Amino acid sequence: MNRSLYGMKLEEIMEALKLEKKFQARIVRDNLVKGVTDFSEMTSLSKKDRERLSYDAMTTKVIERQESESTVKLAIRLSDGLVIECVRLSDGRDRFTACLSSQVGCAMGCAFCKTGTMGLRRNLEPGEIIEQFVHLEKLGEEISHIVFMGMGEPLNNFTAVMEAIQVLHDPEQFNISYRKITISTSGFVPGIHKLTELELPLKLAVSLVTADDNKRSRIMRINRTYPLSELKKALISFQHHENKRITLEYCMLKGYNTGKEDAEKLRKFMSGMDALVNLIPWNPVEGMEFETPTDVEIRAFTNELKKLNINYSIRREKGRVISGACGQLASKIE
Ligand code: SAH
Ligand code: SF4
Protein backbone atom coordinates (compact mmCIF):
# COMPACT_ATOMS: atom_id res chain seq x y z
CA MET A 1 0.00 0.00 0.00
CA ASN A 2 1.22 3.48 -0.94
CA ARG A 3 2.07 6.03 1.68
CA SER A 4 0.08 9.23 1.25
CA LEU A 5 1.95 11.90 -0.68
CA TYR A 6 0.22 14.41 1.59
CA GLY A 7 2.53 15.34 4.39
CA MET A 8 5.67 14.15 2.61
CA LYS A 9 8.69 16.38 2.47
CA LEU A 10 9.93 17.33 -1.01
CA GLU A 11 12.80 14.83 -0.75
CA GLU A 12 10.34 12.09 0.13
CA ILE A 13 8.11 12.95 -2.83
CA MET A 14 11.20 12.80 -5.06
CA GLU A 15 12.03 9.37 -3.75
CA ALA A 16 8.48 8.01 -3.88
CA LEU A 17 7.97 9.17 -7.47
CA LYS A 18 11.60 8.70 -8.58
CA LEU A 19 11.91 12.33 -9.58
CA GLU A 20 15.35 13.78 -10.20
CA LYS A 21 14.77 17.43 -9.48
CA LYS A 22 13.34 19.14 -6.47
CA PHE A 23 11.34 21.54 -8.61
CA GLN A 24 9.38 18.60 -10.00
CA ALA A 25 8.45 17.53 -6.49
CA ARG A 26 7.44 21.10 -5.77
CA ILE A 27 5.09 21.13 -8.75
CA VAL A 28 3.54 17.89 -7.56
CA ARG A 29 3.14 19.24 -4.05
CA ASP A 30 1.58 22.51 -5.23
CA ASN A 31 -0.96 20.50 -7.19
CA LEU A 32 -1.71 18.22 -4.26
CA VAL A 33 -2.42 21.24 -2.08
CA LYS A 34 -4.93 22.41 -4.69
CA GLY A 35 -6.55 18.98 -4.57
CA VAL A 36 -5.19 17.82 -7.92
CA THR A 37 -4.04 14.24 -7.40
CA ASP A 38 -4.02 13.01 -10.97
CA PHE A 39 -0.56 13.49 -12.50
CA SER A 40 -1.98 13.79 -16.00
CA GLU A 41 -3.70 16.98 -14.86
CA MET A 42 -0.54 18.55 -13.45
CA THR A 43 0.05 20.73 -16.48
CA SER A 44 3.30 22.27 -15.31
CA LEU A 45 4.97 18.86 -15.28
CA SER A 46 6.69 17.78 -18.47
CA LYS A 47 4.62 15.63 -20.80
CA LYS A 48 6.97 12.76 -20.11
CA ASP A 49 6.43 12.98 -16.36
CA ARG A 50 2.69 13.37 -16.76
CA GLU A 51 2.57 10.13 -18.71
CA ARG A 52 5.12 8.24 -16.66
CA LEU A 53 4.00 8.93 -13.12
CA SER A 54 1.69 6.49 -11.44
CA TYR A 55 1.10 6.53 -7.72
CA ASP A 56 -2.03 6.79 -5.58
CA ALA A 57 -1.42 10.22 -4.09
CA MET A 58 -4.26 9.81 -1.62
CA THR A 59 -4.80 6.83 0.63
CA THR A 60 -8.38 7.69 1.61
CA LYS A 61 -11.68 7.91 -0.19
CA VAL A 62 -14.95 9.70 0.51
CA ILE A 63 -17.68 7.07 0.67
CA GLU A 64 -20.59 9.10 1.92
CA ARG A 65 -21.59 12.73 2.07
CA GLN A 66 -24.42 14.10 4.19
CA GLU A 67 -25.59 17.65 4.36
CA SER A 68 -27.91 19.52 6.65
CA GLU A 69 -28.31 23.29 6.78
CA SER A 70 -24.77 24.50 6.31
CA THR A 71 -23.03 21.46 7.80
CA VAL A 72 -21.50 18.78 5.61
CA LYS A 73 -20.30 15.48 7.02
CA LEU A 74 -18.05 13.13 5.10
CA ALA A 75 -17.45 9.48 5.83
CA ILE A 76 -13.97 8.56 4.70
CA ARG A 77 -12.60 5.09 4.14
CA LEU A 78 -8.99 4.53 5.10
CA SER A 79 -6.67 2.19 3.24
CA ASP A 80 -7.29 -0.61 5.75
CA GLY A 81 -11.05 -0.34 5.37
CA LEU A 82 -11.75 1.50 8.63
CA VAL A 83 -14.00 4.53 8.35
CA ILE A 84 -13.67 7.95 9.95
CA GLU A 85 -15.78 11.07 9.76
CA CYS A 86 -15.05 14.74 9.41
CA VAL A 87 -17.27 17.76 9.16
CA ARG A 88 -17.27 21.14 7.45
CA LEU A 89 -18.98 23.77 9.55
CA SER A 90 -20.04 27.18 8.38
CA ASP A 91 -20.88 30.33 10.29
CA GLY A 92 -23.61 31.02 7.74
CA ARG A 93 -21.50 33.65 6.04
CA ASP A 94 -18.04 33.21 4.59
CA ARG A 95 -16.20 31.40 7.33
CA PHE A 96 -15.70 27.67 6.97
CA THR A 97 -14.18 25.42 9.59
CA ALA A 98 -12.87 21.89 9.17
CA CYS A 99 -13.59 19.60 12.09
CA LEU A 100 -11.03 16.82 11.82
CA SER A 101 -10.60 13.41 13.43
CA SER A 102 -7.31 12.37 15.00
CA GLN A 103 -8.02 8.71 15.73
CA VAL A 104 -10.34 5.94 14.63
CA GLY A 105 -12.57 5.82 17.70
CA CYS A 106 -11.28 6.95 21.07
CA ALA A 107 -9.86 5.23 24.12
CA MET A 108 -11.30 7.69 26.62
CA GLY A 109 -14.81 6.30 26.75
CA CYS A 110 -16.59 9.42 28.00
CA ALA A 111 -20.08 8.32 28.97
CA PHE A 112 -21.93 10.97 26.92
CA CYS A 113 -19.98 10.68 23.66
CA LYS A 114 -20.72 8.40 20.75
CA THR A 115 -17.11 8.17 19.61
CA GLY A 116 -16.24 6.88 23.06
CA THR A 117 -18.46 3.83 22.56
CA MET A 118 -16.22 2.62 19.70
CA GLY A 119 -13.08 2.23 21.75
CA LEU A 120 -9.78 3.05 20.08
CA ARG A 121 -9.23 1.21 16.82
CA ARG A 122 -6.03 2.98 15.84
CA ASN A 123 -4.26 6.31 15.53
CA LEU A 124 -4.43 8.23 12.26
CA GLU A 125 -1.32 8.92 10.21
CA PRO A 126 -0.43 12.55 9.45
CA GLY A 127 -1.40 12.00 5.79
CA GLU A 128 -4.81 10.67 6.81
CA ILE A 129 -5.43 13.79 8.89
CA ILE A 130 -4.35 16.13 6.08
CA GLU A 131 -6.43 14.24 3.52
CA GLN A 132 -9.59 14.95 5.56
CA PHE A 133 -8.87 18.64 5.11
CA VAL A 134 -8.31 18.15 1.37
CA HIS A 135 -11.61 16.27 0.98
CA LEU A 136 -13.44 19.03 2.85
CA GLU A 137 -11.83 21.75 0.72
CA LYS A 138 -12.85 19.89 -2.41
CA LEU A 139 -16.44 20.64 -1.41
CA GLY A 140 -15.71 23.98 -2.96
CA GLU A 141 -15.19 26.63 -0.29
CA GLU A 142 -11.95 27.89 1.13
CA ILE A 143 -11.55 26.70 4.69
CA SER A 144 -9.95 29.14 7.09
CA HIS A 145 -10.18 27.39 10.45
CA ILE A 146 -9.45 23.91 11.79
CA VAL A 147 -10.69 22.29 14.96
CA PHE A 148 -9.60 18.88 16.19
CA MET A 149 -13.03 18.06 17.50
CA GLY A 150 -13.82 15.03 15.39
CA MET A 151 -13.21 11.47 16.46
CA GLY A 152 -10.42 10.78 18.91
CA GLU A 153 -8.29 12.47 21.52
CA PRO A 154 -5.72 14.50 19.56
CA LEU A 155 -3.23 14.71 22.41
CA ASN A 156 -3.16 10.91 22.52
CA ASN A 157 -1.86 10.91 18.95
CA PHE A 158 0.45 13.82 19.56
CA THR A 159 3.22 13.29 17.03
CA ALA A 160 0.98 12.60 14.05
CA VAL A 161 -1.35 15.48 14.89
CA MET A 162 1.57 17.90 15.21
CA GLU A 163 3.08 16.68 11.95
CA ALA A 164 -0.23 17.24 10.20
CA ILE A 165 -0.54 20.69 11.78
CA GLN A 166 2.94 21.62 10.51
CA VAL A 167 1.84 20.83 6.96
CA LEU A 168 -1.55 22.52 7.30
CA HIS A 169 0.21 25.57 8.69
CA ASP A 170 3.12 25.66 6.22
CA PRO A 171 2.74 28.93 4.24
CA GLU A 172 3.98 27.06 1.14
CA GLN A 173 1.24 24.50 1.55
CA PHE A 174 -2.15 24.99 3.21
CA ASN A 175 -1.18 28.20 4.98
CA ILE A 176 -3.58 28.06 7.94
CA SER A 177 -2.32 30.24 10.73
CA TYR A 178 -1.72 28.51 14.07
CA ARG A 179 -4.15 30.94 15.64
CA LYS A 180 -6.91 29.44 13.55
CA ILE A 181 -6.19 25.89 14.64
CA THR A 182 -7.81 24.58 17.81
CA ILE A 183 -6.88 21.39 19.59
CA SER A 184 -9.61 20.01 21.79
CA THR A 185 -8.70 17.66 24.61
CA SER A 186 -10.61 15.81 27.25
CA GLY A 187 -7.90 16.87 29.68
CA PHE A 188 -4.91 14.64 28.97
CA VAL A 189 -2.52 16.57 31.21
CA PRO A 190 0.86 15.24 29.94
CA GLY A 191 -0.25 16.14 26.42
CA ILE A 192 -1.15 19.68 27.48
CA HIS A 193 2.33 20.04 28.98
CA LYS A 194 3.93 18.77 25.77
CA LEU A 195 1.84 21.23 23.79
CA THR A 196 2.92 24.06 26.07
CA GLU A 197 6.56 23.18 25.48
CA LEU A 198 6.14 23.55 21.72
CA GLU A 199 5.39 27.25 22.24
CA LEU A 200 3.11 27.47 19.22
CA PRO A 201 0.20 29.94 19.21
CA LEU A 202 -2.33 27.14 18.78
CA LYS A 203 -5.69 27.46 20.47
CA LEU A 204 -6.70 25.05 23.16
CA ALA A 205 -10.16 23.81 24.04
CA VAL A 206 -10.88 21.49 26.93
CA SER A 207 -13.93 19.29 27.30
CA LEU A 208 -14.57 20.19 30.89
CA VAL A 209 -18.24 19.14 31.09
CA THR A 210 -18.33 19.71 34.83
CA ALA A 211 -16.07 21.37 37.38
CA ASP A 212 -17.07 18.89 40.08
CA ASP A 213 -14.40 16.19 40.51
CA ASN A 214 -16.81 13.46 41.57
CA LYS A 215 -19.25 14.13 38.79
CA ARG A 216 -16.47 14.42 36.25
CA SER A 217 -14.82 11.17 37.27
CA ARG A 218 -18.13 9.39 36.97
CA ILE A 219 -18.60 10.27 33.31
CA MET A 220 -15.02 10.94 32.15
CA ARG A 221 -12.49 8.25 33.07
CA ILE A 222 -9.60 10.60 32.32
CA ASN A 223 -10.52 12.60 35.42
CA ARG A 224 -9.67 9.64 37.64
CA THR A 225 -6.06 9.88 36.45
CA TYR A 226 -5.84 13.64 35.97
CA PRO A 227 -8.24 15.38 38.36
CA LEU A 228 -9.37 18.98 38.03
CA SER A 229 -6.59 20.42 40.18
CA GLU A 230 -3.94 19.00 37.83
CA LEU A 231 -5.90 19.97 34.76
CA LYS A 232 -6.16 23.52 36.03
CA LYS A 233 -2.43 23.74 36.70
CA ALA A 234 -1.68 22.53 33.18
CA LEU A 235 -4.12 25.04 31.65
CA ILE A 236 -2.69 27.94 33.60
CA SER A 237 0.80 26.98 32.55
CA PHE A 238 -0.30 26.76 28.89
CA GLN A 239 -1.90 30.16 29.19
CA HIS A 240 1.16 31.58 30.85
CA HIS A 241 3.16 30.67 27.74
CA GLU A 242 0.62 31.35 25.05
CA ASN A 243 -1.40 34.11 26.65
CA LYS A 244 -4.45 32.96 24.76
CA ARG A 245 -7.99 32.50 25.91
CA ILE A 246 -8.87 28.87 26.56
CA THR A 247 -12.25 27.45 25.62
CA LEU A 248 -13.96 25.24 28.17
CA GLU A 249 -16.40 23.01 26.35
CA TYR A 250 -19.33 22.36 28.61
CA CYS A 251 -21.60 19.64 27.34
CA MET A 252 -24.86 20.32 29.18
CA LEU A 253 -26.52 17.19 30.55
CA LYS A 254 -30.04 17.51 31.84
CA GLY A 255 -30.22 17.47 35.61
CA TYR A 256 -26.51 16.64 35.93
CA ASN A 257 -24.30 19.68 35.53
CA THR A 258 -26.67 22.62 35.13
CA GLY A 259 -27.44 23.68 38.71
CA LYS A 260 -26.47 26.76 40.68
CA GLU A 261 -23.73 24.83 42.48
CA ASP A 262 -22.33 23.66 39.17
CA ALA A 263 -22.04 27.27 38.04
CA GLU A 264 -20.27 28.17 41.27
CA LYS A 265 -17.79 25.31 40.91
CA LEU A 266 -17.17 26.41 37.36
CA ARG A 267 -16.47 29.95 38.57
CA LYS A 268 -13.96 28.58 41.03
CA PHE A 269 -12.26 26.40 38.43
CA MET A 270 -11.92 29.40 36.12
CA SER A 271 -10.39 31.75 38.64
CA GLY A 272 -6.92 32.83 37.57
CA MET A 273 -7.59 31.71 34.01
CA ASP A 274 -8.76 33.59 30.93
CA ALA A 275 -11.40 31.26 29.59
CA LEU A 276 -14.64 31.21 27.67
CA VAL A 277 -17.26 28.61 28.45
CA ASN A 278 -18.80 27.09 25.36
CA LEU A 279 -22.11 25.50 26.27
CA ILE A 280 -23.11 22.54 24.12
CA PRO A 281 -26.54 21.16 24.98
CA TRP A 282 -26.05 17.39 24.81
CA ASN A 283 -26.66 15.97 21.36
CA PRO A 284 -28.66 12.76 21.63
CA VAL A 285 -26.87 9.47 21.09
CA GLU A 286 -29.02 6.37 20.82
CA GLY A 287 -28.85 4.06 23.78
CA MET A 288 -27.43 6.62 26.21
CA GLU A 289 -29.29 7.61 29.32
CA PHE A 290 -28.54 11.31 29.24
CA GLU A 291 -31.04 13.88 28.10
CA THR A 292 -30.77 17.27 26.48
CA PRO A 293 -31.65 20.04 28.91
CA THR A 294 -34.80 21.99 28.17
CA ASP A 295 -34.60 25.63 27.10
CA VAL A 296 -35.80 26.63 30.56
CA GLU A 297 -32.99 24.67 32.19
CA ILE A 298 -30.43 26.14 29.79
CA ARG A 299 -31.66 29.65 30.51
CA ALA A 300 -31.57 29.09 34.26
CA PHE A 301 -27.95 27.97 33.98
CA THR A 302 -26.89 30.86 31.78
CA ASN A 303 -28.53 33.23 34.27
CA GLU A 304 -26.33 31.78 36.99
CA LEU A 305 -23.29 32.19 34.76
CA LYS A 306 -24.22 35.81 34.14
CA LYS A 307 -24.56 36.48 37.86
CA LEU A 308 -21.07 35.09 38.34
CA ASN A 309 -19.65 37.11 35.44
CA ILE A 310 -18.65 34.03 33.51
CA ASN A 311 -18.09 34.53 29.78
CA TYR A 312 -20.02 31.99 27.82
CA SER A 313 -21.38 31.20 24.39
CA ILE A 314 -23.89 28.60 23.30
CA ARG A 315 -23.17 26.34 20.41
CA ARG A 316 -26.08 25.90 18.09
CA GLU A 317 -26.67 22.24 17.39
CA LYS A 318 -25.89 22.26 13.73
CA GLY A 319 -25.70 18.99 11.97
CA ARG A 320 -27.75 16.97 14.43
CA VAL A 321 -29.92 15.58 11.69
CA ILE A 322 -26.92 13.99 10.02
CA SER A 323 -25.27 13.03 13.32
CA GLY A 324 -22.54 15.47 12.49
CA ALA A 325 -22.83 17.46 15.68
CA CYS A 326 -20.42 17.30 18.60
CA GLY A 327 -20.01 13.88 20.06
CA GLN A 328 -22.15 12.18 17.43
CA LEU A 329 -19.35 10.95 15.23
CA ALA A 330 -18.77 7.25 15.01
CA SER A 331 -18.41 5.07 12.01
CA LYS A 332 -21.09 2.54 11.35
CA ILE A 333 -19.62 1.29 8.09
CA GLU A 334 -16.50 -0.80 8.17
N1 SAH B 1 -11.48 14.10 22.35
C2 SAH B 1 -11.42 15.49 22.27
C3 SAH B 1 -11.82 15.99 20.92
C4 SAH B 1 -13.24 15.67 20.54
S5 SAH B 1 -14.15 17.11 20.72
C6 SAH B 1 -12.26 16.13 23.35
O7 SAH B 1 -13.02 15.41 23.99
O8 SAH B 1 -12.10 17.32 23.57
C9 SAH B 1 -15.73 16.54 20.92
C10 SAH B 1 -16.50 17.56 21.73
O11 SAH B 1 -17.88 17.17 21.75
C12 SAH B 1 -16.07 17.63 23.16
O13 SAH B 1 -16.05 18.96 23.59
C14 SAH B 1 -17.13 16.84 23.91
O15 SAH B 1 -17.30 17.29 25.22
C16 SAH B 1 -18.33 17.12 23.09
N17 SAH B 1 -19.30 16.05 23.10
C18 SAH B 1 -19.09 14.73 23.13
N19 SAH B 1 -20.25 14.06 23.08
C20 SAH B 1 -21.22 15.01 23.00
C21 SAH B 1 -22.63 14.95 22.85
N22 SAH B 1 -23.27 13.79 22.77
N23 SAH B 1 -23.31 16.11 22.78
C24 SAH B 1 -22.66 17.29 22.81
N25 SAH B 1 -21.34 17.40 22.91
C26 SAH B 1 -20.62 16.27 23.01
FE1 SF4 C 1 -12.99 10.72 23.24
FE2 SF4 C 1 -13.46 13.34 23.37
FE3 SF4 C 1 -15.48 11.62 23.01
FE4 SF4 C 1 -14.25 11.74 25.35
S5 SF4 C 1 -15.44 13.38 24.39
S6 SF4 C 1 -14.78 9.86 24.25
S7 SF4 C 1 -12.16 12.14 24.75
S8 SF4 C 1 -13.81 11.99 21.61
Dist. CA 115 → ligand 1 center (Å):
9
Res. 243 pLDDT band, cuts 50 70 90 = confident
Instruction: Check residues 286 and 302 and name the one with the higher pLDDT.
Output: 302
pLDDT, position 92 = 83
Distance from residue 239's CA to the centre of ligand 1 (Å): 22
pLDDT at 329: 67
Report the SS3 class of residue 207: strand
Ligand 1 pocket residue status of 186, Cβ below 6 Å: yes
Closest CA to ligand 1's atom 21: 327
185-217 b/e with 16+ CB inside 10 Å = b? bbbbbebbeebbeeebebbbbbbbbbbbbebbb
Q: What is the pLDDT of residue 13?
A: 97
Q: Which atom of ligand 1 is nearest to the CA of 284?
A: 22
For residue 334, what pLDDT band results from cuts at 50, 70 and 90?
very low
What is the arithmetic mean of pLDDT over 214-242? Answer: 96
Does 200 score more than 50 pLDDT? yes
The yes-or-no verdict on residue 331 having pLDDT over 60 is no
CA distance 324 to 67: 9
Give residue-wise pLDDT tens across range 21-35. Answer: 999 999 999 999 999
Q: Would you state the pLDDT for residue 325?
A: 64
Residue 275 burial (10 A CB sphere; 0-12, 13-18, 19+): buried
Residues belonging to the active site = 85, 326
Please report the atom of ligand 2 found closest to the CA of residue 152.
Answer: 8
- Judge if the beta carbon of residue 113 lies within 6 A of ligand 1: yes
* HEC assignment per residue over 93-152: CCCEEEECCCEEECCCCCCCCCHHHHCEEEECCHHHHHHHHHHHHCCCCCCCEEEECCCC
Confidence (pLDDT) at 321: 61
Closest to 19 (Cα-Cα) out of 11, 9, 29: 11
Q: How far apart are the first and last CA of the chain?
A: 18
Is 167 a pocket residue for ligand 1 (Cβ < 6 Å)? no
Residue 158 has pLDDT above 80, yes or no: yes
pTM > 0.85: yes or no: yes
pLDDT given at position 242: 78
Identify the nearest ligand to the CA of 330 by its number: 2
254 Cα: distance to centroid of ligand 1 (angstroms):
16
Section 145-167 average pLDDT: 98
Ligand 2 atom closest to the CA of 220, numbered from 1: 4
185 C-beta closer than 6 A to ligand 1: yes
Among 100, 110, 218, residue to substitute to test ligand 2 (most atoms within 8 Å of Cβ): 110
CB of residue 327 inside a 6 A radius of ligand 1 = yes
What is the mean pLDDT of the segment spanning 14-18? 96
Per-residue confidence (pLDDT) for residue 307, from 0 to 100? 98
For residue 166, the CA-to-ligand 1 centroid distance in Å is: 24
Ligand with the closest atom to the CA of 288: 1
pLDDT band at 332 (very low <50, low <70, confident <90, very high): low
**Mean pLDDT of all residues in the chain?**
94
- HEC states along 35-103? CCCCHHHCCCCCHHHHHHCCCCCCCCEEEEEEEECCEEEEEEECCCCCEEEEEEEECCCCCEEEECCCE
Structure confidence at residue 319 as a pLDDT band (50, 70, 90): low
pLDDT in tens, 279-299: 999 999 989 999 999 999 999
The pLDDT, as a whole number, for residue 327 is 61
Cα(328) to centroid of ligand 2, in Å?
10
For ligand 1, is residue 258 a contact (CB within 6 Å)?
no
State if residue 253 touches ligand 1 by the CB under 6 angstroms criterion.
no
